[in-house]
A and B are shown apart, each in its own frame.
Chain A
Amino acid sequence: MSGRRDLAGRGGVTAPAGVLVVGASAAGLATVEALRRGGYPGAVTVLGAEPHLPYDRPPLSKQVLSGAWQPDRALLRPRDVLAALDAEFVLGDPAVGMDAPARSVRTASGRTLRADTIVVATGTSPRTLPGQAGLAGVHVLRTLDDALALRAGLLRCARLVVVGDGVLGAEVAATARTMGLDVTLAGPQRAPMASQLGRPVAHRLAELHTERGVRLRMGTGVRGLTGARGTVTGVSLDTGEVLPADLVVVAIGGDPVTGWLHDSGLPVDNGLVCDSRCRAADGIYAVGDVARWHHDQLGTLLRLENRTNATEQAVAVAADILGGDRPYTPVPYFWTDQFGTRIQVYGVLPADAEVTVVDGDPETGRFVARYRRDGEVTGVLGWNMPKQARMRRQEVADALAASDSASAAH
């Protein structure tokens, strides 16, 4: 692998590569692995914006942030396994433009990489608050370097405010609180992750955080940051209240990394827009967080920032490149671990869904809940029952397939 890294000389144009994967994280790596498993014999190049070999992101807000894992443990594959893929990894060189008809990608260092097939796997980048860039002590969390910088901050600071009440904000709050910091979590929802978990379970998650000492400031937007001498001093809320802080994490979601495609002519609208085969144009695909594809069973464009979607979508795209022709219709899935509680979610859990406990008992801290809307199953949630939740995944898959045939009949 390393021996081939310099083949794409700076400023030069490489010999045509069979497949160019733009993005060296989970989705990009899984695409390469699925191509090779499927017998793809051609050249494969992986272009990564970061200098690191492919690493995993879910541990960044948990084991890497807490220090339970050394950073190397987040690497997705050992070097020898990567080398066996016979792919050229061009790392630390972000893509800055694409010529879609010519299927070539320009990079920040001046390389031009050409391929028969391009797979866009550039992920998302964190949103920030106005004024954030000029203030020390304010962090986002997306990359390994972000996680290490935030960890250094957690080790020398005492009072953390997390802005954002989604999965990432809730996980960072839990990890930092477990490390002993004074933690406040602020966000506009009535409870953390309310839009992902539905109200009853989000309320339960709020109780878990409160029991463990996290202060919740829910139901309020954030107006901005306060600072003195270039360092953050707090977070000001829409209510006028200022939450004092010597460290702030901004976890208010991410935007798909598509700026480099702006003059490519490809359809960009909250992600790279694709058909049901995850194809944006002839020979150009998207996978992972950046891909907004048509989910035929749900009958809508969908973009999922879920870890398992990155790999499942990669498998689907590789199959299409190898000549398969099937729509990508996954059952959405994510998990989160907070304060030792493992939550698994299959499908979607609308706020207005009817929630029924179908296994375990909330009183004992372990249960599985089924979510229905208009009589149809939309999702299943496990609270400290990962296996039992997974065993009900098929109920969600069946409901998705049924809605597909119902819409096909119309």
Chain B
Amino acid sequence: MKVTVDEAMCCGAGQCVLLAPDVFDQRDEDGVVVLLDAAPPEPLHAVVREAASVCPAAAISLGEGA
């Protein structure tokens, strides 16, 4: 799984951090998403898929057998 984020689309809701804090964080200054792990281990794939689906700005994309 390869995770990419689009900072320009991020609205700072932090839904991804609530779901997968090992993969996503937010910048202190404006809340924009910070990708901590672009290739998360298999046990996290399900929750990362959920994060990509529920992101209210559609700012998270998954690739490579996601």
Contact = CB atoms under 8 A, between A and B. Distances in A.
A117 B47 CA distance: 25
A28 B49 CA distance: 17
A263 to B, nearest CB: 34
Contacts of B15: 308
A179 B53 CA distance: 32
A37 B53 contact: yes
B54 A58 contact: no
Contacts of B14: 386-387, 390, 393
B53 A33 contact: yes
Chain B contact residues: helix, strand, loop or mixed: loop
Contact of A386 (B26, B49, B53): B26
Interface string B13-52: 1110110000000111011000000000000001001100
Given A333-B13, A386-B26, A390-B14, A311 B31 contact: no
B7 to A, nearest CB: 13
Interface in A358-376: none
A315 interface: yes
Contacts of A386: 12-14, 26, 30-31
A335 B18 CA distance: 16
A308 B13 contact: yes
A58 B11 contact: yes
B49 A37 contact: yes
Interface string A192-227: 000000000000000000000000000000000000
A344 interface: yes
A77 interface: yes
Given A56-B58, A335-B13, A311 B26 contact: no
B15 to A, nearest CB: 6
A148 interface: no
A335 B30 CA distance: 13
Nearest to B9: A73
Contacts of B30: 342, 384, 386
A56 B13 contact: no
Contacts of B9: 73
Given A37-B46, A386-B26, A387-B12, 20 more contacts: A26-B56, A33-B53, A34-B53, A56-B57, A58-B56, A308-B54, A311-B53, A311-B54, A311-B56, A335-B11, A344-B12, A344-B31, A385-B31, A386-B13, A386-B14, A387-B31, A388-B28, A390-B14, A390-B18, A390-B31
Interface of B: 9, 11-15, 17-18, 26-28, 30-31, 46, 49-50, 53-54, 56-58
* 9 A-B pairs closest in CB distance: A386-B31, A386-B12, A390-B14, A387-B26, A311-B54, A33-B53, A307-B56, A387-B31, A76-B58
Interface of A: 26, 30, 33-34, 37, 56, 58, 73, 76-77, 307-308, 311-312, 315, 333, 335, 337, 342, 344, 382, 384-388, 390, 393
